Amino acid sequence: MTAAFVAGADASSEVPLKRRLKRAERTRRLKALALILPLLLFLLFTFLGPIAGMLWRSVDDWEVRQVMPHTVAALADWDGKDVPGEPAFAALAGDIRTARDAGTVAIASKRLNYALNGFRTIMSGTARNLKALPEPGTAKDTLIGINPAWGERATWAAIKGASGPLTSFYLLGALDLTRNLDGAIVAAPEEQAIYRDVFGRTFTISLGVTVLCLILGFPVAYMLATLPTGQSNVLMIFVLLPFWTSLLVRTCAWIVVLQSEGIVNDSLRWIGLIDEPLRLIYNRFGVYVAMTHVLLPFMILPLYSSMRSISPAYMRAAASLGASPVTAFLRIYLPQTVPGIGAGSLLVFILAIGYYITPALVGGAADQMISYFIAFYTTETVNWGLASALGAVLLLATLLLAVVYGKLVHGQQVTGGMKN
């Protein structure tokens, strides 16, 4: 702005005012960009890059291509209708010998085993028993002699399907789909088809938590918005303190409160309602309670701010025109809270579908949400392709909802420290 100021004051110079103003405006814009740029570059390295890398891994198919390059090349124009000819077998025998010497058989067989269960055994057995390169022309018979599976179309189709460089295998797998021998997309075999179930569960739990938060949050927001500011500020502490308390503290607190020797069970037993302790934790009930507790402030705060902006004059006007309190509430008050309900519900839902820590600690095996499986495939079984594909689906769902949320709140400020 200083530049613009100086340019305006200095009218005696020869450059026309219009051009000088334009130049000043450009310097100004460049200066602003220079201030934003460090953060953008930083996020490129610490956030956007990593996420792009994860998305890349969900389609990247490098293992077979790298370990068995000659086989991949020999299969390039195989039509997949019949077992390939001698050249492909010779290439395979050569690749397996090389891979065995380089110690890379396991890399390719791990990938091939995802495509065809049992492939690991085929590969390791062949690598072990193939003592020398077969004589020219005998590769096919030698390999089928070592393992008859080499004489099957499915074995070769698995290699062809895994020969990269890009694959839809993991993304299809994340949606319980697979390709059959002819390359058509079909439903995955039943024992592998678990992810639609997991996505469905993630959706159900998130929706349940959102509805619970709305039911519990609405009266609180209404009370806080209606009470005089002094009183509502004091009561707001009851919302903000849990909001600021560590997620782990709150999860830990629920385990202590709900466990079989916990306060809730003890009180119920003391009253005489139950004889045996109820199972309240490490199941779906515990997940609902703990997640609702953690996410409730994210519902109350946007609801509160939308209710605060509703003038009481509307309700008085409705009453003076003869509306009953119920009608006035339903027809006048409630419609005005819809933006708040929408914003709060979407926020809670977006946060809920990505939850990992709380279900992992208070849920049972059947209550784990999609994030758990992403973490599991990343660190436990090291199936990074599948982990990335599941992550890609979750990311897509989250971003779509976030765009809707952004349109809804229209650049309104976001409150609070998000917790996962």
Partner 1 sequence: MSDNHSPRTASQRIAWITTVVVASLVLVFLMAPILAIMPLSFSSGSYLTYPLPGFSLRWYEDFLNSPRWVSSLKNSVIIGVASTILSMVLGTLASLGLAQWKSKFKPLVLAIVLSPVVVPGVITAVGLYFFFAPLGLTGSYAGLILAHTALSTPFVVITVSATLQSFDMNLARAAASLGASPIYAFRRVILPLILPGLASGALFAFATSFDEVVVVLFMAGPEQRTLPREMFSGIRENISPTITAAAVILTTISVILLATLEALRRRNERLKGNLR
For partner 1, the binding residues in 117-146 under the rule CB under 8 A are: none
Q: Which residues within the stretch 267-306 sit at the binding site for partner 1 (CB under 8 A)? A: 293, 296-297
Q: Tell me the C-alpha to C-alpha distance, in Å, between residue 103 and each of 99, 108, 158, 180, 415.
A: 6, 11, 21, 31, 53
Note whether 29 binds partner 1 by CB under 8 A.
yes
Site size with partner 1, rule: CB under 8 A: 97
- Segment interacting with partner 1 (CB under 8 A) among 82-90, 146-154, 232-240, 335-343: 232-240
Q: Which residues within the stretch 43-102 sit at the binding site for partner 1 (CB under 8 A)? A: 43, 45-51, 53-54, 57
Q: How far is the CB of 358 from partner 1 (least distance, A)?
A: 11
Q: Which residues within the stretch 391-420 sit at the binding site for partner 1 (CB under 8 A)? A: 391, 394-395, 398-399, 402, 406, 413-414, 417-420
Report the alpha-carbon distance of residue 370 to residue 390 in Å, rounded.
8
Report the alpha-carbon distance of residue 1 to residue 19 in Å, rounded.
16
Considering the complex, state which of residue 187 and residue 234 has its C-beta at the smaller distance from partner 1.
234
- Taking residues 202 to 231 in sequence order and writing x for each that binds partner 1 by CB under 8 A, - otherwise, the string is --------------xx-xx-xxx-xxxx--
Report the alpha-carbon distance of residue 44 to residue 232 in Å, rounded.
42
What is the dihedral angle through the alpha carbons of 95, 101, 104, 106, rounded to the nearest 10 degrees?
Answer: 90
The binder of partner 1 chosen from 35, 132, 184, 366 (CB under 8 A): 35
Report the alpha-carbon distance of residue 366 to residue 358 in Å, rounded.
14
Q: Which residues within the stretch 242-261 sit at the binding site for partner 1 (CB under 8 A)? A: 242, 244-257, 259, 261
Under DSSP, the state recorded for 85 is -
What radius of gyration, in Å, describes the C-alpha atoms of the chain?
A: 31
The binder of partner 1 chosen from 198, 353, 389, 409 (CB under 8 A): 353
Under 8 Å CB-to-CB from 8, ≥6 apart: which residues? 21
Under DSSP, the state recorded for 48 is I
Considering the complex, state which of residue 155 and residue 265 has its C-beta at the smaller distance from partner 1.
265
List the structure tokens of 296: 């409730």
Considering the complex, state which of residue 107 and residue 247 has its C-beta at the smaller distance from partner 1.
247
